Amino acid sequence: MSWYPTAMPSQAGKRYLVTGANAGIGFFTAARLAGAGAHVVLAGRSPERLEAAMAAIRGARPEASVEPLVIDTASLDSVRAGASRLLHRPPFDGVVANAGMVHTPDQRLESPDGNELVLATNVLGHFALLAQLLPNLAPGGRIVMLGSLSSRLSTFRIDDLQLERGYDPWRAYAQSKIATQVFAFELDRRLRAEDAPLSSLVAHPGYSVGGRTPRVPGVNEPSTGKRFRDALQGAWAQGKHRGAEVPLHALTAPGVEGGQFWGPRWSTKGAPALQTPTRTSTDAAIGARFWAFAEQATGTTFTVGA
């Protein structure tokens, strides 16, 4: 199939979980892994869209080993039910925490659990998911969180993560992505402190847009108008299949270490390159405060180590 990206090193025998795998960065991440021989669990909230994504992967690679897992990261009940279905399975070699809300609502909404919806979808659901799954990761396993360039373009209200003092769509998205990075780096600090044989790191896909992405029936079918508009941004934008190169590198490349921050070489596009995260994202005091907040907001005790 013409949309299927270039082959990557063999992942035969590996098992990965990719959230938000029915479209965008998550789909191309899962497709590349499955095409390289890994068994991939595609997680998403829509059974129909997951089936379409798996059909597209199998259409390009009939031998691909993929399976669906219905999880809505905005709902803690859904996350816990989904995680429980994985706990007695063989361990995962890596998790790509990709699921997220990019097109945020115009007004503040709450998740079924009473948390601000964007924060719940993009961060808190993954916090609860990984709290359950951490013991089911194989030694050497990597957790890759999807960060964003928006982390450089907004302040971080650690004392108002629920945006109760003021909401706007941009802040909701940017703050959720800063929180994602804070969580990833704090998790890696805790793993290191316990000498756990796991690592946590951040990958951001730059500016990756659907109109510069190959057409995949049932997965990515941009209109002619969107292709034209996105083509006008070609100097600084890339397709989502290219954006997926960064989390794939962070997940599988030799020499990658926990606590690193990977992104496209030219910031918005290009081959994966090691970059410097914001000081807020890596501040240990902020990380500890966020961890305590997340445990309270999700009703979860996230224990790292024995």
Residue of 4, 16, 167, 173 marked active site: 173
β-bridge pairing 261-264 and 272-275: antiparallel
Nearest CA among 137, 37, 16 for reference residue 87 = 137
Query: Which is nearest to 163 in space by CA: 125, 118, 101?
Result: 118
- The residues with which 70 forms a beta bridge, in sequence order, are 44
173 is catalytic: yes
Q: How many CB atoms within 10 Å of residue 107?
A: 9
DSSP conformational letter for 254: T
d(CA 138, CA 141): 5
**Residue that is written with structure tokens 């049932």 in the block:** 218
Find all residues with CB under 8 Å of 285, minimum gap 6, and list them: none
β strands within the chain, DSSP E = 15-19, 39-44, 65-70, 92-97, 137-146, 199-203, 208-209, 238-239, 261-264, 272-275
Place of tokens 């964003």: 148
Q: Identify which of 251, 247, 246 has the alpha carbon closest to the alpha carbon of residue 93.
A: 251
DSSP string, 143-197: EEEE--GGGGSS---TT-TT--S---HHHHHHHHHHHHHHHHHHHHHHHHHTT-S
Where in the sequence numbering do the catalytic residues fall? 173
